[in-house]
Amino acid sequence: MGNYIGKKLRGKHTTYLDITWGKILIKKIEKESSVTGVGLGIIIKIKNKPKLNYTAKKIDIGIELTMFASAQKQIILIYTNNAKETAISLGLKLKTVKN
């Protein structure tokens, strides 16, 4: 597990999944000017690792990113005013959500 140390953190939870691309992504998020905050969710155990490394979807406050490791998942909220451009900048593919 890694600990997030940055100015954009919202909340008291600082631990994130310690996976290679996750570390890189957290650093990119911190440097991204359009990101106003980061909320790290709790790490949850899962039975089987999904085929994807992450899922990302646009929500009212920005982007809800779910990161997957071998036996865990974690939801990270990325606060931004422009989710589409932030996702492109971070190299994330946004999932289209049907209403």
Q: Evaluate if residue 22 carries a pLDDT over 70.
A: yes
Q: Tens digits of per-residue pLDDT, 35-75? A: 999 888 888 888 887 778 889 999 999 999 998 888 888 88
How many Å separate Cα 11 from the centre of its chain?
14
- Average pLDDT over the chain, rounded to whole? 82
Instruction: Output the pLDDT for position 51.
Output: 78
Query: How does residue 6 score in pLDDT terms, banded at 50, 70 and 90?
Result: low
Give the residue extent of every domain in the chain.
2-95
Please list, residue by residue across 63-85, b when 16 or more beta carbons sit within 10 angstroms of its beta carbon and e when fewer do.
bbbbbbbeebbbebbbbbeebee
pLDDT the model gives residue 94: 92
Assigned token pair, 29: 């998020």
